[in-house]
Structures are given as structure tokens and as C-alpha cells.
Chains A and B, each alone.
With several copies, the nearest count.
Chain A
């Protein structure tokens, strides 16, 4: 009998179970409990999207820690604490805020192990919200995981379903390396699946074959997996068989699954909500034209956001986001081999 959870609830369940199984797991972030130092209800917010709601009640002040608005110092504190026996899960409310705290990830967390000759262990997880579609405009809607994938020493996770969200977050917390965990704000409510109650871990670097097909390989990330599936349905009705791959983690990336699929189909479309330049879409295209060139029958098309900030007006934002229609058009173009 199915147990349908939203992406939000699946994430909360993963946090709760990880905290129950390991007392060194702590959470920190702005208003992740809420009401700190306020006269009214404590745990008033549970995070701005309600992901951590209720955890303060179960685990208390010592393990669900609200912070002042000081991302550099509390993200850095999470990193430092991770080298001292804790497994912090810090929330960066929106990944757009990376600019005020990036040093602690780029130059600290990501480099300790290497700089210190393999002697450091930094099991920290940064949970962060990304993506357009919420009408929050240029500074609250970006898809910035490509920048994190660029950085050696970081692992980067981009779950597309509630099932994956739970299993990947549990893996992230158990992992001994720094992990940046990207949650799409629109999926908190839109993504719902049958999610087993018992804790389970989905290994990093293992892509999910969302659907098998012979004509074209579509690699899509996060929310785009759902858009690609929509496009694939339409295409199937028109006799085009798409193989849809969701890498789930982009660093490490399951290169073999992508290459095997392209060896079979000979065609590739990459769908990525990122800005186009130096993006994951480009990264995957570059991988395939190096390692599977001889199998390619057509150009590799990248379906991404345009090279513009995210606009506010709904009509503009809707045009900014890659759509099933654009994905379908890209697949048709590679089917023509043009």
C-alpha cells in the first residue's frame, strides 16, 4: 500500500531519521526552528519552506540551531564543527546567497583534505534551495549547482523526486566529504512519490534510468527531469523513443551510464535549468563528444535557461525556464540529425 510523501516531507523524514540514528548530526540555519528570542511560539517557522518544521520540538536547541543572518560564519561554523566530531547539516536558505559565504566552501571545506595531506575529514552537508518558477526574481531563483560542481573537493546532489530526495539526503549525511544538496523550491510541493518509511541510502554517482529508449538519450537534472518526461511522452506518441537519464548527483557524475546510453542511441539532448555558459549541460556535452564521439549521429543539443538573469514578470519567467516544448523541439532537431 503506497505511502505518498511530498519532496518536503521526504526531506524532513530523512533529517529526522539521520538525527535519530546518529547523535552527532545537528542542523543549523536561519529560522530552521524559528521564534528564537521572540515572545511567541518557538519552532514558529521550521525553515522558510517548512522542511525542518517539528524537528526542534523533537531534538531541541542543542541540535536544531537557529542562527543570526551571518551565512559566512555559520556555514563556516558547520564546516569547522565537521572537522571536530559533528555532522552538521547547515541550511543556506537560497543558493543565491552563496556569494556571501562561498569562501567557506570553495577554499575551506573543499580543500581541507587535500591541503592537509589526507588527514582531514569534513562531513558537512549544505542544504540549499534553487530554481525558478516561484516569481522570486533575479536574486532568489537561480540554478547555481554548476559552480559547485566546478570545485574539486565538493560533492553535489540534485534530487528530482521525493524518493531520491530522502535516499540521497541520508547518503549525504552519512558521507564523510562535504556535500552540497540542491532542493528545487517548486518540487517541495510538486514532487510526490511512494516513499518507504525505513531509512535507505541511494549511493552517489549512480544515475537513474527514468525511462529506457533507443532513439535519443535525454540527460536532465532536478525539476527538468519531469519536464523531459513530459516531452518524452509526447515524442513516444510520435514514434520517437527517448531514454531519460537523471544523474541525481553531478559530482560525482555517473559518466558510464550516460556514455553507454549514447553508445546505444547515438543522440543526446541535455536539459539543465542553469545559465548556459560553463554549465552542467556543457559539461555533459563535453564529456560525450570526448568519450563517445564515434557513436554520435547528430549534434548534441543543450536545453538551458538563456544567458540572462531570472526575470520577475510571470510571462517572462515562464519563458526563461526550459519547457517540455523546447525539449521536444531539441529532440526533434537531433532526430533530423541537424
Chain B
């Protein structure tokens, strides 16, 4: 499938934004500017962007604890996100959610989720709503290799298949769940096997290759929109940082991360592909890089100065709609 310029530039911009956002967050965390647990998506950008390129604001996605990339890919405002990570009142969740619970329902982003396996049932619900209300919309649940072993995830595969739900199960297999290897924790070594078990089409794709992810996801989304039920996609790749900030990563092979960054960077691959095929020029991409970096810098500058929530006003609100 030949992608047009707009899709290409938009996709590159989003992947590049995720990368720049995460690298900035990494630096900020090291300086102690950011509280809490932070899990970075750098290296995995092609998955979120390749999938979400097929979705609009009424299509829903459910994310994981590693949710920044999914937010950006789904169109969440980067400044609102950065403000949220700083715990500011003007953050996308008013500072009450933070990195592990970042969400923007207006963009169809139903939330990062700090409970591994918490998301797939919710995505089944989003898909059920689309099916019941006949909106033609779809739902996507992103889950890790570790999360693929959670019972809630597995029974959601069965439920989605039985109910023939318009949804995608995107399993982001980055090789590790915290420090545990997915080759060990996932019986049989690959998540793909589970597609057949629950009677749905399944695919494995190189997660460093935006074009491969984009194509497979596009077909799955179409299938879902046509009412033909769910699809399982196992995206294989690796993360560029630790499980969370502060992870010493001694469980990884020597030079593993360096090799990934050198030879398996979805951004480098993308640049090479589009420039060789003369779809976009290097200077066009450089221009995007510069714009993105400026946007991130300004998001940080705004966030540093922004106001915190006011306990007297904000602590007790938003528990219920009606009290």
C-alpha cells in the first residue's frame, strides 16, 4: 500500500514527537523534576503510530503503564501531557492521574493503565459499544508480552472472539516484562499462537518497521469495521530504556541497547525508506525534527512554571458526578 505525503509526514511527526518527548522525560527524571514511576516508550514508536494512523477520535484505544506513546499517537496534546507528568493543575488529567493514568477521552484515548491486564476488558467494552450503537468504530487494546499472560487478557481474547467484537489486540512484545524474558514467560515463546486458540486471525510483525505495522494494522482495522471480528497482532521489538526510569537493566545482554539504537531504530528506518524512495526529502524531515524539538521544549518550559493543584479545592472533587 502506497502512503501519501500527508500520512507519511504526520506519522513521522508523531513518531519523532514520541521519541523527543520520552528522551526529554528521561532527562527530566534524572534531574528529579518528575515524581513517580515513569515507563518510556522510546524505540517502540512504530507500533503506536502504525496502528493509530488508522483511527480517528471516535475509535478507542486502551493503553498500559507505558502509555505516553499511545497518547501521542492518538493525538493527545503534548503540552497537556507534560503538564500532567509534572502533576500540574492544567495537566490533561488535572494532575490527578500522572504518567501511569494519563488519558484523554476526547481523543479516544481511554487511559494508560497501571494494572497489567486491566485494559483488555475495557477495550472489549469500547468495541461492544461501537457494535451495539452501530457507529462503525473500532477499539484497540495495547498489551505487553508480560500482560499477555494475565488471565484478564486471555479471557478477553475469548470474549472478543465469541462476541465478534470490532477490535484489535496489539501485543507489544519488547522481550521483557520488567526483568523477565518473554521467551520464558510466554509459553511457547510467541503470543501469536493465542490467535488460533481463540479463533481469530493473528499476525507477527517487525515493530521497528513502521510500514509493516501500518499495513497489518490497516487490514485488521478494516476487518473490524466490516464486522468480521477481532484480530491479534504481535509486534516484536525492544525498548531503548529500562523498564522504568531507574532500572539498571543488568538483565539485558551486553551491548543490546546500543545494537537496537544503531540497527533497529524505527525513525532511522523510516527516514531511509522515505528518502530512498524519494517520498520525502531529508530536509523536510529535518524541519519536522526541529519543529518537534521546539514543541517539546516549550511544553517543558510551560510545565515548569505551571501551577500545582490546590488541595483545598482539588483533593476532594471528581470522585463522583453526583454526591
Contact = CB atoms under 8 A, between A and B. Distances in A.
Interface in A47-78: 48, 62-63, 65-78
Task: Decide if the interface of chain B is mainly helix, strand, loop or mixed.
Answer: loop
A69 to B, nearest CB: 4
Interface residues of A, number: 87
A177 interface: yes
Interface in B251-296: 251-254, 256
B169 to A, nearest CB: 12
Given A69-B149, A140-B100, 13 more contacts: A37-B180, A39-B252, A44-B248, A68-B159, A68-B185, A76-B125, A83-B105, A84-B130, A85-B129, A86-B132, A107-B118, A108-B122, A252-B323
A83 B103 CA distance: 12
A272 interface: no
Contacts of B248: 44
A312 B83 CA distance: 12
Interface in A140-198: 140, 152-153, 155, 175-177
Contacts of B184: 36-38
Given A30-B180, A68-B162, A139 B115 contact: yes
A233 interface: no
Contacts, number: 313
Contacts of A66: 180
Interface size class for chain B?
35 or more
A114 B96 contact: yes
Task: Decide if the interface of chain A is mainly helix, strand, loop or mixed.
Answer: loop
A121 interface: yes
Contact of B250 (A40, A48, A62, A88): A40
Which of A40, A48, A175 is packed against the most chain B CB atoms within 10 Å? A40
Given A44-B179, A176-B322, A80 B105 contact: no
Interface of A: 24, 26, 30-31, 34-42, 44-45, 48, 62-63, 65-86, 88, 96-97, 99-100, 103-104, 107-108, 111-121, 134-140, 152-153, 155, 175-177, 252, 306-309, 311-316, 318-320
B178 interface: yes
Interface of B: 35-37, 60, 62, 87-89, 91-98, 100-101, 103-106, 110-111, 113-118, 120-126, 128-130, 132-133, 146-147, 149-152, 155-156, 158-159, 162-163, 176-186, 248-254, 256, 308-311, 314-323
